[in-house]
Structure 1
Amino acid sequence: MMAWQNFSRLLNDRSGNFGMMTAILLPVLLGAAGVALDLTNMMVSKTQLQEAADSAALAASTALASGEAADEAAARELAKQFFLGQASNTMGADAASALAETLDIDIKTTATATGKKFQVQVGSNYDLALTPLMGVLGQGSMNIATSGTSTSGTEKKANALSLYLVLDRSGSMGDNTNSKVQKCVVIYGQNVCWMVTQTKMEALKDATGKLLAELDKVDPDKKLVRTGAVSYNEVMQSPSPLAWGTSAALTYVNALPASGYTNSGEAVETAYTSLANSMENTYHKNKNGDEDPSKYIVFMTDGENNISGADNKTLKACKNAKDAGMEVYAIAFMAPTAGQKLLSQCASTPAHYFQPEDANTLIEAFKAIGQKAAKSATRLTS
């Protein structure tokens, strides 16, 4: 047989095709199986890590908005621990701990006109080990990158309020306190100062100024706060009716003299009826949209009622105010026992009752009341 005939027979012989095709395709088949398996693992792992990053970012931003995280450093640590807890369930504690230490946690805090805005971004990079099947194609690992972002913030919510001052201007308010203040005048271009004893009325005017200044801080545009004032000795004096801002009430108080006896009944009743008037809510609704403003009575005396029926009338007005949801603050300033008893009964709670025995403590009490009222006017919400 000729050599060329033998070669022709070899070319036409198909008995070894399967083995050759298997040898050629086996690496491809193994690689394809590896790709399918590793792609499945990669998608599952990416989903799990993405959920951990999203949860960590949300936890950190929420904690910043609620105040649970005091600062950005605390928020970063919280995000890291939250990510670790989530990832440990899927990739094991050791691997999750190592990855948590390499997290890219970016926090941006932005001050706004009404509060703060927090944006937290948590990024991770993880090298997923591939199956040996992928080794056929020369791949030993695959990088999985995830990034989760969450935004939250705080907002100052404005709450309207109306506050009525009920102040004793009887003769004993002209008495001296045990406090001294500096008084200065200009003489021939020189500032000459000396210490003088402060009267109760002078201390009251200073204290009122401090209280109203706290309200001015939260309502510079005079759209949230309405104040009024009324004084009394043996009879109620003409009041300064409720008005926007604090200037009218402050001017009224600064002009008060001290004279006469003590009868608080009609003055407290006037404060209650003024605040309870439905028009007061209407004024707020039209100005700031608040149909249910907070309402306060600040009732102060340095003595005791010496007009028949004054105590009962006072207590009835205080009860009506409290039943209507108003907060009644009562200040017995260097007052006798009977005056202390009356005001403690008028106060909404023991925390609403003050018993200052000197000018400085009176001023501190009024300022504290102003701060509490101001705090109710501006609340942070997340």
Structure 2
Amino acid sequence: MTKTMERRSWLSRLLRDRRGNFGMMTALVFPVMLAAGGVAIDLTKMVMIKAELQDATDAAALAAASSLANDGKTVAQAKEIAMRFLKSQMTTGGSADAEGDQDEKDKNDYTSATVIDVKETVLTGDSKSFQVDVATSYTLEFNPFTRLLGQTSTKMNARSTAESGTAEKKHSISMFLVLDQSGSMSFITNEKDPDKNKKCQNHTSSNWYTANLPETSPCYISKIAALKTAVASLVTELNTADPEKKYVRTGAVSYNDKMLATVDLAWGTATALTYVNAIAKVPQGGTDSSGAFAQGLKKVKDPAEETIHKNKSGQVPSRFILFMTDGENTHYNGAANNTKSDEETKKSCQAARDAKIEVYAVAFMAPQRGQDLLKACATTGSNYFEATNMAALISAFKEIGSRTAATVARLTK
């Protein structure tokens, strides 16, 4: 056999030989597998630390804002409080404080990595507002496997802002109630009167036209009675926030197939509550919300409201309309019309939106068209409430009262 043939035979055997292939594949793939595993571990850790970092800046900003408004702390003291909160959050049991992370601990000096800025604004009178910004960063050292890809670490950032005001700077508001007292408000809810022996006229859509409707038991609570209870829950929230009647002004108007009597905005809630409680136990008439809503808009939009608030509390008021119905519009200016009132009411709702007047809308056991109108009028989706029973109505009014009377520091970003 010639040398050329021997070489060809040897090369052929080598090419056919599969021994050692697994070792070669392992040598090629194993580093990639290690790197992939390292990346998975570090990604999980990044997500956890990022969340902890955001929670820490949130807590620090809120703590500082609260101390400025409620405890009379100076700006320097508030910054110290914010730093303590941040360090406490990041060095107590979290992922950033896990065992084996000494290199990270050595490289993450929160004092130098954190910027705390406090903006203090002097308002009318003795009141002040504060804005606290907290920004920090954290350097995560990758594990040796991830470093096989050439990256040794990454920096994560977090930022939070909180606002607060001194006790003198309460949330000054003007609120007008626009309430339905059409005939359907006489109808019963599904709530029974606690007095089991009590009898009453249980009005429904099927017996509404029955003359001298007899009293029966059990006695169900009517929609109008439920509304009065709901308004009382709203009033309680506002009174709690403003016991001295220095920051809250309320008024009210009601409607059936036309706009009914109006009570002007006045300090506190007593005048508006008295008005609501005086509504007839058995309301009558169709439904036309256009005139009443336009009236409420006119009252809260009046420039004199701002002057009245400034003269007493030094505040520019936030302005609200609470719009409620249990039905759908059937009239316009006293005449039967199924569309005009909706059109005009929506125009007024848009005018309120343009004037930065916030509208809360409550549909109480209302049909679809009534719901659609109130959804269109509510300033945002969260300002719309759909109450299908008395308990839900009371809850909606209480929530609206709580929101509008809010005085505590709030996280804004």
- Tell whether the structures are fold-level matches, with TM greater than 0.5: yes
1:180 equivalent in alignment to 2:225: no
Q: Distance in 1 between matches of 2:284 and 2:364?
A: 17
Q: Distance in 1 between matches of 2:248 and 2:196?
A: 34
Distance 1:64 1:248, change over 3 A: same
Residues 62 and 409 in structure 2, CA contact (< 8 A), matched pair in contact too: no
1:247 equivalent in alignment to 2:278: no
Deviation at 1:333, TM superposition (A): 0.6
Deviation at 1:381, TM superposition (A): 7.9
Give a deviation string over 1:31-50, Cα, whole Å, max 9, x none.
xxxxxxxxxxxxxxxxxxxx
5+ long unaligned stretches in structure 1: 1-59, 83-92, 98-113, 115-152, 186-193
Residue matched to 2:322: 298
Q: 2:284 aligns with which of 240, 253, 259?
A: 259
Residue matched to 1:144: none
Corresponding letter in the other structure for 2:185: M
C-alpha RMSD over aligned residues: 3.5
Deviation at 1:64, TM superposition (A): 3.4
Q: Distance in 1 between matches of 2:89 and 2:323?
A: 53
Residues 262 and 304 in structure 1, CA contact (< 8 A), matched pair in contact too: yes
Distance 1:81 1:332, change over 3 A: closer
Give the TM-score taking structure 2 as reference length. 0.54
Deviation at 1:159, TM superposition (A): 2.3
Residue matched to 1:169: 181
1:215 equivalent in alignment to 2:238: yes
Give a deviation string over 1:8-59, Cα, whole Å, max 9, x none.
xxxxxxxxxxxxxxxxxxxxxxxxxxxxxxxxxxxxxxxxxxxxxxxxxxxx
Over the matched positions of the two proteins, sequence identity in percent amounts to 43
The secondary structure found in structure 2 opposite 1:263 is: coil
5+ long unaligned stretches in structure 2: 1-58, 68-77, 92-101, 107-126, 128-163, 198-216, 332-336
Which has the larger displacement, 263-272 or 253-262? 253-262
Residues 318 and 346 in structure 1, CA contact (< 8 A), matched pair in contact too: yes
Corresponding letter in the other structure for 2:232: G
Deviation at 1:379, TM superposition (A): 3.6
Deviation at 1:269, TM superposition (A): 0.1
1:78 equivalent in alignment to 2:87: yes
Residues 171 and 405 in structure 2, CA contact (< 8 A), matched pair in contact too: no
Residues 65 and 154 in structure 1, CA contact (< 8 A), matched pair in contact too: no
Deviation at 1:313, TM superposition (A): 1.4
Residues 176 and 296 in structure 2, CA contact (< 8 A), matched pair in contact too: yes
Corresponding letter in the other structure for 2:257: E
Q: Distance in 1 between matches of 2:403 and 2:89?
A: 38
1:197 equivalent in alignment to 2:226: no
Q: Distance in 2 between matches of 1:326 and 1:260?
A: 29
Deviation at 1:75, TM superposition (A): 4.7
Q: 2:247 aligns with which of 224, 227, 230?
A: 224
Deviation at 1:196, TM superposition (A): 3.7
Corresponding letter in the other structure for 2:252: A
Residues 196 and 219 in structure 2, CA contact (< 8 A), matched pair in contact too: no
Residue matched to 2:381: 350
The secondary structure found in structure 2 opposite 1:213 is: helix
Distance 1:183 1:164, change over 3 A: farther
Distance 1:303 1:62, change over 3 A: closer
1:380 equivalent in alignment to 2:409: yes
Residue matched to 2:347: 316
Deviation at 1:179, TM superposition (A): 1.3
Which has the larger displacement, 232-241 or 60-69? 60-69
1:366 equivalent in alignment to 2:397: yes
Q: 2:358 aligns with which of 307, 327, 332?
A: 327
Residues 300 and 333 in structure 1, CA contact (< 8 A), matched pair in contact too: yes
Residues 182 and 195 in structure 1, CA contact (< 8 A), matched pair in contact too: no
Residue matched to 1:337: 368
Q: Distance in 2 between matches of 1:178 and 1:297?
A: 28
Residue matched to 1:234: 257
Q: Tell me how many residue pairs correspond in the alignment.
A: 247
The secondary structure found in structure 1 opposite 2:259 is: coil
Residue matched to 2:63: 64
Q: Distance in 2 between matches of 1:350 and 1:381?
A: 20
Residue matched to 2:114: none
The secondary structure found in structure 1 opposite 2:387 is: coil
Corresponding letter in the other structure for 2:248: V
Corresponding letter in the other structure for 1:171: G
Residues 65 and 409 in structure 2, CA contact (< 8 A), matched pair in contact too: no
Higher strand share: 1
Matching of residues 270-309 of structure 1 within 5 Å: 270-290=295-315, 292-307=316-331, 308=337, 309=340
Residues 63 and 85 in structure 2, CA contact (< 8 A), matched pair in contact too: no
Distance 1:155 1:200, change over 3 A: same
Residues 62 and 410 in structure 2, CA contact (< 8 A), matched pair in contact too: no
Distance 1:76 1:348, change over 3 A: closer
Q: Distance in 1 between matches of 2:327 and 2:238?
A: 28
Corresponding letter in the other structure for 1:168: D
Give the TM-score taking structure 1 as reference length. 0.58
